[in-house]
Amino acid sequence: MTSTAFHIGGDLDVRRLGFGAMHLPTEPGPAREGSLAVARRAVELGVTLIDTAYMYSWGANEELLAEALHPYPDGLVVTTKVGVARTGSGEWTLDGRPEALRDQVEQALRRLRVERIELLQLHRIDPETPLADQVGTLRDLRTEGKIGRIGLSEVTVAELDEARKTVDIASVQNRYNVLDREHEPVLAACEAAGIAFLPWRPAAWGESGAKAEIAAVASELGATSTQVALAWLLGHSPVILPIPGTARVNHLEENLAAERLQLTPDHRARLDRLPDQA
């Protein structure tokens, strides 16, 4: 039986199937009202891990979640990411300078209306700033009580190992799904160390249905291709915490129902072989 819970950092209890807020519209109007409804429905359905980032609408996504959910119910973890900045032309760039990270964390605390972010992730490693300085700054913020646990995003095994020389790493957020397993070595390293692995693009953004094998398994189970892709992730490794995103309540409900989908050994073997057939 696939476990439905995980302890991030060994002590932060969350439901393994979370919610990614990136796709929620934040502009005023009916779409924003829909976003508020989706976030609230996620919590009603028992989601305890919601993922956002400063880069998602440059803080507006964090403010949206605070509007929808604050005061946060006990047990809800809203994790955010820092380390990406907006340029004067509206583009984005990496900025892992200690002063920049400190400022982004302070602003995230304000926007999320909290005194401590239980899981704070470095969105990308800035190659212009020593990694030890970047994670060292987050370590200092943890010591100050503003961060509970520290995570990384889009890292290699070597980068993960280097970061762990400076501070404990509680999570890694890399691109990963049933059709895209480039970061399988990183997943293996996380599994060996008990580090949570949060795959972004967990359902391949609709590409799952394009694969005849996934569609066939979905048909046999009376499920959707996305549900099959999520169920495969949950069974593939006990440290995987998928964070599928959507801006529609019905899709949210479908995604969370994947937790109850039972893949047979035959189904799993067929899905395991997919990258070799791509």
Give the H/E segment covering residue 13.
strand 12-15
Question: Residue 243: inside a domain, yes or no?
Answer: yes
Q: pLDDT for 92-145, tens place per residue?
A: 999 999 999 999 999 999 999 999 999 999 999 999 999 999 999 999 999 999
Q: Which residues contact 243 (CB under 8 A, 6 or more apart)?
A: 18, 19, 20, 49, 51, 198, 199, 200, 202
Question: Residue 133: inside a domain, yes or no?
Answer: yes
What's the confidence (pLDDT) of residue 90? 77
Asked about 56 being catalytic, the answer comes back as yes
What's the confidence (pLDDT) of residue 208? 62
What's the confidence (pLDDT) of residue 65? 98
Q: Which residues contact 23 (CB under 8 A, 6 or more apart)?
A: 245, 246, 247
What's the confidence (pLDDT) of residue 66? 98
What's the confidence (pLDDT) of residue 212? 87
What's the confidence (pLDDT) of residue 260? 96
- Alpha-carbon distance of 28 to 53, in angstroms, equals 19
For position 255, which CATH number holds?
A: 3.20.20.100
In degrees rounded to 5, what are phi and psi of residue 115?
Answer: -100, -10
Question: Residue 216: inside a domain, yes or no?
Answer: no
- Give residue 92's domain range: 5-205+237-259
Q: Which two tokens stand for residue 207?
A: 């590409």
The HSE-up count of residue 240 (CA atoms within 13 Å, CB side) is: 28
What's the confidence (pLDDT) of residue 210? 61
- Write out the chain's pLDDT in tens, 278 residues: 678 899 999 999 999 999 999 999 999 999 999 999 999 999 999 999 999 999 999 999 999 999 999 999 999 999 999 999 998 777 899 999 999 999 999 999 999 999 999 999 999 999 999 999 999 999 999 999 999 999 999 999 999 999 999 999 999 999 999 999 999 999 999 999 999 999 999 986 555 656 889 999 999 999 999 999 999 999 999 999 999 999 999 999 999 999 999 999 999 999 999 876 54
Which of 54, 56, 72, 176 is catalytic? The answer is: 56
The per-residue b/e assignment along 151-173, b for 16 or more CB within 10 angstroms, e otherwise, is bbbbbeeeebebbeebbebbbbb
- Alpha-carbon distance of 270 to 278, in angstroms, equals 13
Question: Residue 135: inside a domain, yes or no?
Answer: yes
What's the confidence (pLDDT) of residue 275? 77
Give the chain's domain count: 1
Give the H/E segment covering residue 60.
helix 60-69
In terms of Cβ atoms closer than 10 Å to its own Cβ (0-12, 13-18, 19+), residue 127 is exposed
Q: Count other Cβ atoms within 10 Å, centred on residue 110.
A: 13
In degrees rounded to 5, what are phi and psi of residue 43?
Answer: -70, -40
Find out whether the peptide bond into 71 is cis, omega within 30 degrees of 0: yes
Question: Residue 270: inside a domain, yes or no?
Answer: no
Question: Residue 277: inside a domain, yes or no?
Answer: no
- Alpha-carbon distance of 110 to 122, in angstroms, equals 18
Question: Residue 11: inside a domain, yes or no?
Answer: yes
Q: pLDDT for 228-246, tens place per residue?
A: 999 999 999 999 999 999 9
Question: Residue 190: inside a domain, yes or no?
Answer: yes
